[in-house]
Amino acid sequence: MWNFIVLCLALCSCTYALTEEELKLQMTKLVMKCNKDSQVDMMELVQLQSFVVPTKMATKCVLACAYKAADVMTADGLYNIEHAYKIAEQMKNGDEKRLENAKKMADLCVKVNEEKVSDGEKGCDRAALIFKCTVDNAPKFGFKL
């Protein structure tokens, strides 16, 4: 359901091998939990599932909330590259090329931390940038959206 977020490669801090289905379920729960506070329209969340980069601040903030809860983002609102590497390792499933590609994508997406954003540590704008980087680049590294 939430493939695009799975591809951010930094969804939870578990120490065992993770399946995509487990990550999708965790992320879905986080998004729904985060949406309780903001009540983003369900159509906006469906747009995320269709890989449409959010433009409304409330939707970006739900994404930031979920990313922070999953350690995709730090409390300071930055992409968490160290955690991305950990998740890449946990999801490699014995495939070294998958691990290599996941790290390359993380290295590419960490550049969103250099972008100027309007909301600072809140991370809403940066969450949308992480999402966009993932959607734009996942196919280039062999990941399905």
Report pLDDT for 9: 39
Q: pLDDT (tens digit, 9 = 90+) per residue, 11-62?
A: 433 334 556 667 667 877 898 899 987 889 999 988 887 889 999 999 999 9
**∠ at Cα 1 (49, 71), nearest 5°?**
85
Asked if 75 contacts 120 with a C-beta cutoff of 8 angstroms, the reply is: no
Q: How far apart are CA 92 and CA 71, in angstroms?
A: 19
In a domain, 10, yes or no: no
CATH number of the domain to which 71 belongs: 1.10.238.20
Please report the pLDDT score of residue 18 as a whole number.
59
pTM (2 d.p.):
0.84
Does residue 4 form part of some domain? no
In a domain, 12, yes or no: no
| Cα-to-chain-centroid distance, residue 31 | 11
**Lowest pLDDT segment from 39-53, 63-77, 109-123:** 39-53
